[in-house]
């Protein structure tokens, strides 16, 4: 396919690649898009489970944790797919500046991208934070507390409220990650957006920032996005398989 050759050439020519991933990037790992029909939002009401209600109501906290228990049971066994490994390969080739992701499943790190190269715009399900003292717990440990009967788990050190380290509705986006993503997007030479419908702020503006700053932009998504007209190349195929073929081709070209 002509587009595969063209994107492989772009990778060969670039030095600082930002890879941006959304829910569609993890569906090939069996991680559902939790916002799509059939997801947890069919069972739970996202408006009710907002951050303010979480802080003020024990009943809402109970529901919130029930929802996150379901999500954790879905994602904890999830394995990185070909797309995640292709991104790791870009890192190994010295081409990756960073990954910016809307996903909270931790699969980029599981695939071997170092933690400090992954900017998680919506937080992570891999950790749980104490809202009082800031103590951080591995998600699996808190899951065990729930299995032992705590329906609303509390901090071991200070008994404060615990909350998954994901961004809830009504909760502020993480400032460092958001700012850092903007900076990296504006200084990369190639921006690969993969598996995101690019409609949610601040995700949607990153490809635009990159393009305006002179980077080349490639959008991989099964369906069209509102930013396709900014892109140098748009590929409406399964993201994991396609990216994997492209990175393999780029390696061949570099070794030739
Ligand atoms: Zn605490």
The 3-class SS string of the chain reads: CHHHHHHHHHHHHCCCEEEEECHHHHHHHCCCCCCCCCCHHHCCCCCCCCHHHHHHCHHHHHHHHHHHHHHHHHHCCCCCCHHHHHHHHHHHCCCEEEEEECCCCCHHHHCCCCHHHEEECCEEEEEEEECCCCCEEEHHHHHHHHHCCCCCCECCCCCCEEEEEECCCCCCCCHHHHHHHHHHHHHCCEEEEECCCCCCCCHHHHHHHHHHCCCEEEEECCCCCCCHHHCCEEECCCHHHHHHHHHHHHHHHHHC
Tell me which of 65 and 33 has the higher pLDDT: 65
Q: Pick the last residue of a domain from 166, 195, 222.
A: 166
How large a percentage of the chain has pLDDT more than 90?
88
Residue 42 has pLDDT above 80, yes or no: no
Range(s) of the domain holding residue 66: 40-77+126-166
From 122, 143, 227, 229, the catalytic residue:
122
For residues 59-71, give the mean pLDDT: 95
Structural domain tally of the chain? 2
Query: In whole angstroms, what is the distance from residue 250 CA to residue 185 CA?
Result: 22
pLDDT reading at 66 higher than 70: yes
pLDDT of the residue at 124: 96
Residue 190 alpha carbon to ligand 1 centre in Å: 42
CA of 133 to the centre of ligand 1 (A): 4
CATH number at residue 230: 3.40.50.1220
Going from the Cα of 163 to the center of ligand 1, the distance in angstroms, rounded, reads: 11
Judgement on whether residues 106 and 183 belong to the same structural domain of the protein: yes
Predicted confidence at residue 19, as pLDDT, reads 98
Please state, in angstroms and rounded to a whole number, the distance separating the CA atoms of residues 200 and 58: 29
Q: Which residues pair with 19 in a beta bridge?
A: 99, 192
Q: Are 27 and 130 part of one and the same domain? A: no
Residue 221 sits in the same domain as residue 132? no
How far apart CA 78 and CA 164 sit, in angstroms, is 18
d(CA 162, ligand 1 centre) in Å: 8
Q: Which of 26-35, 202-211, 232-241 has the lowest mean pLDDT?
A: 26-35
Question: Within this chain, do residues 206 and 224 fall inside the same structural domain, yes or no?
Answer: yes
211-245 burial code (b ≥16 CB/10 A, e <16): beeebbbbbbbeeebebbebbebbbeebbbebbbb
Give the model's pLDDT for residue 256: 85
What is the mean pLDDT of the segment spanning 55-79?
Answer: 94
Asked if residues 13 and 7 have their Cβ atoms less than 8 Å apart, the reply is no
Please compute the mean of the pLDDT values over residues 99-123 and round it to a whole number: 97
CA of 44 relative to ligand 1 center, distance in Å: 27
Q: Do 183 and 219 sit in the same domain of this protein?
A: yes
Could you tell me the CATH number of the domain that includes residue 149?
3.30.1600.10
Distance from the CA of 159 to the center of ligand 1, in angstroms? 6
* Same-domain status, 178 and 198: yes
Whether residue 151 is found in the same domain as residue 57: yes
Cα 179 to averaged position of ligand 1 atoms, centre (Å): 27
Span 19-37, pLDDT tens digits: 999 999 999 998 877 666 6
Closest CA to 32 of 93, 94, 105: 105
Confidence of residue 119 (pLDDT cuts 50, 70, 90): very high
The mean per-residue pLDDT over the stretch 115-142 comes to: 97
Tens of pLDDT, residue by residue over 157-197, are 999 999 999 999 999 999 999 999 999 999 999 999 999 99
pLDDT of residue 38: 66
Do 116 and 103 belong to one domain?
A: yes
The alpha carbon of 161 and the centre of ligand 1 are apart by a number of angstroms equal to: 7
Same domain for 181 and 64: no
Same domain, 55 and 98: no
Say yes or no: 132 and 72 in one domain.
yes
Residues 9 and 62 in one domain: no
User: pLDDT at position 109, please?
Assistant: 98
User: Could you tell me the two tokens for 225?
Assistant: 């996005």
229 catalytic per annotation: no
């Amino acid at each position: 396919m002509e587009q595969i050759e063209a994107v492989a050439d772009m990778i060969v020519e670039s030095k600082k690649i930002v890879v941006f991933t959304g829910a569609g990037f993890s569906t090939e790992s069996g991680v559902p898009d939790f916002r799509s029909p059939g997801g947890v939002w069919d069972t739970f009401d996202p408006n009710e489970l907002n951050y303010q209600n979480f802080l003020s109501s024990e009943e809402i906290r109970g529901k919130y944790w029930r929802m996150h228990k379901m999500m954790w049971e879905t994602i904890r066994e999830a394995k990185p797919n070909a797309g995640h490994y292709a991104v790791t390969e870009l890192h190994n080739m010295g081409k990756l500046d960073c990954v910016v992701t809307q996903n909270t499943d931790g699969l980029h790190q599981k695939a071997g991208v170092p933690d400090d190269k992954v900017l998680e715009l919506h937080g992570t399900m891999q950790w749980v934070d104490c809202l009082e003292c800031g103590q951080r717990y591995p998600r699996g440990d808190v899951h065990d507390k729930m299995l032992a009967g705590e329906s609303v788990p509390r901090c071991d050190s200070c008994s404060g409220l615990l909350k998954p380290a994901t961004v809830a509705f009504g909760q502020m986006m993480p400032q460092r990650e958001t700012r850092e993503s903007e900076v990296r997007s504006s200084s990369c030479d190639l921006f690969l957006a993969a598996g995101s419908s690019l409609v949610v702020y601040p995700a949607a503006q990153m490809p635009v920032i990159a393009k305006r700053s002179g980077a080349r932009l490639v959008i991989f998504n099964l369906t069209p996005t509102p930013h396709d007209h900014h892109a140098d190349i748009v590929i409406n195929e399964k993201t994991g398989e396609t990216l994997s073929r492209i990175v393999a081709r780029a390696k061949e070209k570099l070794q030739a």
